[in-house]
Structure 1
Amino acid sequence: MKGLKLVVIVLVLVAIGGGLWWYWRYSTLYPSTQDAYVQAHVVTVTAEVTGKVTAVHVTENQRVTAGDPLFDLDDTVYKNAVTQAQAQVEAASEAMGSYTKQIEAASALLESATIANDAAQSQLGRVQRLFNDGSAAQASLDQARSAAAQTESGLRAAQAQQAQARAALVANRDTLVSAQAALQTAQLNLDRTKVTSPVDGWVSNITLREGTVVTAYAPLFSMVDNGEWWVDANFKETDLPRITEGQPVTITIDMLPGTTLTGKVGSIGRGSGSTFALLPAENASGNWVKVTQRFPVRIELGSTDPGLRVGASTSVRVDTTGSTN
């Protein structure tokens, strides 16, 4: 009887030892953690211009697609700015035609003055030669000199007029460019009074109401982007040597019983969670106790949204036995 009891005890101890060894081996090959949470990009919605809210088109937790209207702002001031800018552009455009005609007139006047000056200079040269030969009187020479001086003065005046017309055209061209830029800015601000969804996702934490005056770029509410989902899992530092990028991962989600997702290790954090905390832990030398640190491991999900929620608790298990992808 005693021998039978001894055999039973030995078998029980062997079973317990075998079970412990199997659990240790399984934990080594398949490191897991329950310190893991579903994540997605959260986009902060703001207005890009200041104004009073005239309409809100969405409600809390509403699903929207990119480009769907979210809310509108009073656009009266911005419409007036567009009208004013359009008037400035039209005025500058009309002035361009006027200055172009002035340049054409100044160019014609310059051409006429140049011809007259050339003729007067030629006449002066002939009279000068005749005077030197004694065939022309001093009065004829003086008259030719006076005519040449007048035409030269007229030529300079025509040149100055043409230069002035060209300068005015350049200045007006700058004015037109500035007016066109002001019109584009005014139109852009007018368009921004209609705020649309930047992504596909869900409206979250919205308290915006009609009549509220919002300031440009002030946070108003959030949107959960449905474009990409992942899991941030915090593994013990003793597990990290066996975890590499690309290893397959199995994920179970507490809020979705019976649902199992698959994924792979996307990246491993370069710092522990406490490293980036607002107030990192400081261990005094007198009572220091070694604590196993945890490092964030990003898990890329291999399936699309099965009803996921940001921040949902999950359990993650990494398969370190297979090859990486």
Structure 2
Amino acid sequence: MVKQTNYTTTDKLITRITTMIAGLIAICLLIWGIITIRHWYAFEETDDAQVEAYINPVTARVSGFIKEIRYNDNQEVKKGDTLLIIDNNEYQLNREQSVAGLQTSKEQVRALQANIETAEKAAEVNKALIGAAKSKLTRQQQEYDRYKKLLEAESATKEQMENIESELEVATSNYQAAVHNYEVALSKVMDSKAQIAPVMAEINRRDLVLKRTDLDVNYTVVTAPYNGRIGRRTIQPGQQIQIGQTLAYIVDKNSGLWVVANFKETQLHNMHIGQTVNIVADAYPDKEIKGKILSWSPATGARFSLLPPDNSTGNFVKIAQRIPVKIQIDLNDPAQSFLSAGMNANVAVPKN
């Protein structure tokens, strides 16, 4: 006996709806599969990628106690903005001491120049005295010669001759003294001029010391080296810092962001420098970013590790290596405002 099955209208409707849903799911899976396969054949992809940026430390160039801090965590700064101020009382005292030392050396030069002028005037006076003494000596020599002839002719007495001879000796001594005084005056001029050279050298040295102290005073005001964003603050007012100590980290905004994507070595044959790529950050999956390949590493990432693998040790297992590829993001791309260094990303490179 054959059992007869009766389907109600509700059963038929449920069956029809179920069949339609299954068909739609199958169509969607088919479409998704086609898109996925097509994308797989059209692009080289990797999810081993990170956003990078230049992150440089801001260091202290002088030691001292922090007087004031003018930035907060994660603050945007511009080139030249004051980040912190170091107590500069000691450096100001050193500067004033350098200024005083420089002024003292300059006064020494003025004193030496005055001594030179005085010695030159004295030399001029002694030179004039030489001429007067020489004239008197010539006159006395002539008088001596005349009286000598008169004495030989017995027209003058011996006493007169002795007086004339004494006067000639006096005139000779006066002339020699005038010449000596002139030479001494010239020697003082030369000595004063010789003393100027080391004093001028001392002035140059003190001027350099002053410039160095000016630098120290300027270094007590730490400014932002470029436009960027400051990271976490780790210092407090009143804290003592040392030369070279890291005060903060700043992310360079002017240099822009880039992505380092680690592609398998088997994927590189479809890439070239200047090629446009698509970037999607994990934090913003609905925003696609454009970039260009700048370069790729001259060696695999493993070769730059602390202990690079050595396949000649006998435990060789062939593993596809990855090559870091640097991809530059356009500086005018709006992505610059919401991406941060260290974010993970997916990169797709068209197979041209």
User: For the superposition of Structure 1 and Structure 2, which TM-score range results when normalised by the shorter chain?
Assistant: 0.7 to 0.9
Matched, 1:262 2:290: yes
CA gap of 1:290–1:117, structure 2 versus 1, over 3 A, is farther
Which residue of 203, 208, 211 corresponds with 2:238?
Answer: 211
Q: Secondary structure at the match of 1:154?
A: helix
**Separation in structure 2 between the aligned mates of residue 109 and residue 126 of structure 1, nearest angstrom:** 26
CA gap of 1:315–1:158, structure 2 versus 1, over 3 A, is same
* Aligned residue type for 1:196: T
Instruction: Report the structure number with the largest CA radius of gyration.
Output: 2
**Separation in structure 1 between the aligned mates of residue 266 and residue 173 of structure 2, nearest angstrom:** 106
Matched, 1:114 2:127: yes
Q: Which residue of 1 aligns with 2:186?
A: 159
Matched, 1:49 2:54: no
User: What percent identity do the matched residue pairs reach?
Assistant: 28
Q: Deviations over 1:169-225 (max 9, x none)?
A: 333322322222222222221121121211222211321012211001122321111
**Separation in structure 2 between the aligned mates of residue 246 and residue 33 of structure 1, nearest angstrom:** 18
Q: Secondary structure at the match of 2:53?
A: strand
Which residue of 200, 224, 229 corresponds with 1:202?
Answer: 229
Q: Which residue of 2 aligns with 1:236?
A: 264
Matched, 1:168 2:168: no
Q: Which residue of 2 aligns with 1:283?
A: 311
Could you tell me how far 1:111 is from its partner in structure 2?
A: 2.4
CA gap of 1:140–1:221, structure 2 versus 1, over 3 A, is same
CA gap of 1:225–1:164, structure 2 versus 1, over 3 A, is same
**Separation in structure 1 between the aligned mates of residue 326 and residue 135 of structure 2, nearest angstrom:** 92
Matched, 1:96 2:113: no
CA contact (8 A) 1:247 1:320 kept: no
Q: Which residue of 2 aligns with 1:58?
A: 71
CA gap of 1:115–1:232, structure 2 versus 1, over 3 A, is farther
**Separation in structure 2 between the aligned mates of residue 159 and residue 132 of structure 1, nearest angstrom:** 34
> Greater helix percent: which structure?
2
Q: Secondary structure at the match of 2:337?
A: coil
**Separation in structure 1 between the aligned mates of residue 300 and residue 140 of structure 2, nearest angstrom:** 102
Where do 4+ consecutive residues of structure 1 move more than 6 Å? 18-21, 125-137
CA gap of 1:268–1:127, structure 2 versus 1, over 3 A, is farther
Query: What TM-score comes out, normalization by structure 1 length?
Result: 0.82
Q: Which residue of 1 aligns with 2:155?
A: none
CA contact (8 A) 1:250 1:261 kept: yes
Q: Which residue of 2 aligns with 1:317?
A: 348
Which residue of 176, 183, 186 corresponds with 2:213?
Answer: 186
CA contact (8 A) 1:45 1:219 kept: yes
* Aligned residue type for 1:308: L
Query: What TM-score comes out, normalization by structure 2 length?
Result: 0.76
Alignment of 1:56-95 (within 5 A): 56-95=69-108
CA gap of 1:309–1:120, structure 2 versus 1, over 3 A, is same
CA contact (8 A) 1:49 1:192 kept: yes
Q: Which residue of 2 aligns with 1:226?
A: 253
Q: Deviations over 1:113-148 (max 9, x none)?
A: 333335545665777688789669655654443233
Q: Which residue of 2 aligns with 1:292?
A: 320
Q: Secondary structure at the match of 1:262?
A: strand
CA gap of 1:317–1:119, structure 2 versus 1, over 3 A, is farther
CA contact (8 A) 1:247 1:265 kept: yes
